[in-house]
Amino acid sequence: DAPETLQARAPVVTIMGHVDHGKTSLLDALRGTDVVSGESGGITQHIGAYQVKTKGGEIITFLDTPGHEAFSEMRARGANITDIVILVVAADDGLMPQTIEAINHTKAAGVPMIVAINKVDKDSANPQRVRERLLEHEVVVEGMGGDVQDVEVSALKKIGLDDLIEKILLQAELLELTANPDRAAEGTVIEAKLDKGRGPVATVLVGRGTLRVGDTFVVGAESGKVRAMVNDKGQNIKEAGPSSPVEVLGLSGVPGAGDQMSVVENEARAREVAAYRAEQATKKRTTAAPTNFESMFSALSD
């Protein structure tokens, strides 16, 4: 076999933090910096993940904070999707229980963290206090002699967004993220549903390879053939490369969040693998699989 040709790929970034600290607001604000959406006027989020093209032309993939159920599912299945975690901490509230949980999960997974100190527009904001409290949890920001990047932002007033993007790109550069686009595609289901008109639909984050319309695949215990693909801008596309989130149509049923999608050579093989996976899943259920939270945050590997 010819050696794999690895090419640079976009970082996959997940935003975590305590309830109401501004995760969704920050995601919305970051989406607003997308030069592509900016050009076309409107910004429509069609799927639970999206890509932003920065002013410098780099692409960043953001995963919307998954719902509680999807989150637990992915955790149970040990899906590996995130390269970088952005920890959002409200500058007025400071560190709260879910902030600390997020720190622990991120550390256990060994995924780099960038701290976004949000709501700095508020009179009651105290970013320095946040940095000090982070020390207690062994998160030492650069200004305090550590190596964790931090940035003061306001999702509401759109302060510090370029700075945050710059820090994400810097971190991504250090990670030297690559994937081979020239192989059978593999990806992870972020969310899936049964759509009245379109049938089973899955949002898949492509890990490696390039997914194409017409590809035969297995996803969890389901199989199918890619009938159509829709990107985060709502456009029909023919192919999706590494780190691209895409809606896939043409599944035999609804898979679960965290399920792995693999393109295979033909339908007979797809049915075979799907049947095997269904059998394995049944076995797992009867032996009570342990939840593996850490691996959810492991970087995509080649």
Binding site for Mg ion (CB under 5 A): 23-24
Q: Which is nearer to ligand GTP, 67 or 110 (CB)?
A: 67
Exposure string over 177-213, b if 16+ CB within 10 A, otherwise e:
bbbbbeeebbbbbbbbeeeeeeebbbbbbbbbbbbeb
For residue 137, say whether it is annotated as part of any ligand binding site: no
DSSP annotation of 198 reads: T
Q: Which is nearer to ligand GTP, 96 or 184 (CB)?
A: 96
DSSP annotation of 234 reads: S
Residue 15 Cβ vs ligand GTP, minimum distance, rounded to whole Å? 8
Residue written as tokens 């794999």?
4
Residue 244 Cβ vs ligand GTP, minimum distance, rounded to whole Å? 24
The type of residue at 54 is T
Q: Which is nearer to ligand GTP, 99 or 188 (CB)?
A: 99
For residue 99, say whether it is annotated as part of any ligand binding site: no
For residue 167, say whether it is annotated as part of any ligand binding site: no
CB 133 within 8 A of CB 141: no
Quick one: which segment of 3-11, 16-24, 60-68, 159-167 binds Na ion (CB under 5 A)?
16-24
CB 114 within 8 A of CB 167: yes
Which strand (E) or helix (H) includes residue 157?
none
For residue 20, say whether it is annotated as part of any ligand binding site: yes
- The SS3 of residue 200 is strand
- Other Cβ atoms less than 10 A from the Cβ of 263: the count is 20
Residue 20 Cβ vs Na ion, minimum distance, rounded to whole Å? 4
Burial class (CB in 10 A: 0-12, 13-18, 19+), 231: middle
Residue 17 Cβ vs ligand GTP, minimum distance, rounded to whole Å? 6
Quick one: which segment of 13-21, 71-79, 215-223, 249-257 binds ligand GTP (CB under 6 A)?
13-21
d(CA 130, CA 23): 17
Q: Which of 37, 61, 118, 243: binder of ligand GTP (CB under 6 A)?
A: 118
Q: First and final CA of the chain: distance in angstroms?
A: 16
d(CA 57, CA 40): 16
d(CA 178, CA 301): 9
Residue 224 Cβ vs ligand GTP, minimum distance, rounded to whole Å? 32
Q: Is 9 in the site for ligand GTP (CB under 6 A)?
A: no
Number of residues that bind Na ion (CB under 5 A): 1
Q: Which of 4, 20, 138, 182: binder of Na ion (CB under 5 A)?
A: 20
Q: How large is the greatest C-alpha to C-alpha distance in the chain, in angstroms?
A: 63
Residue 45 binds what, of ligand GTP, Na ion, Mg ion, none (CB under 5 to 8 Å, by partner type)? Answer: none
Residue 15 Cβ vs Mg ion, minimum distance, rounded to whole Å? 9
Quick one: which segment of 16-24, 72-80, 132-140, 272-280 binds ligand GTP (CB under 6 A)?
16-24
CB 282 within 8 A of CB 93: no
Q: Is 67 in the site for Na ion (CB under 5 A)?
A: no
Residues in CB range of 268: below 8 A, 6 or more apart: none
Query: How much is the CA Rg of the chain, to the nearest whole Å?
Result: 20
Q: Which of 14, 33, 99, 154: binder of ligand GTP (CB under 6 A)?
A: 154
Q: Is 267 in the site for Na ion (CB under 5 A)?
A: no
Q: Which of 46, 105, 122, 271: binder of ligand GTP (CB under 6 A)?
A: 122
Please state the residue numbers annotated as binding site: 17-24, 64-68, 118-121
Residues that bind ligand GTP in the complex, under the rule CB under 6 A? 17, 19-25, 118-119, 121-122, 154-156
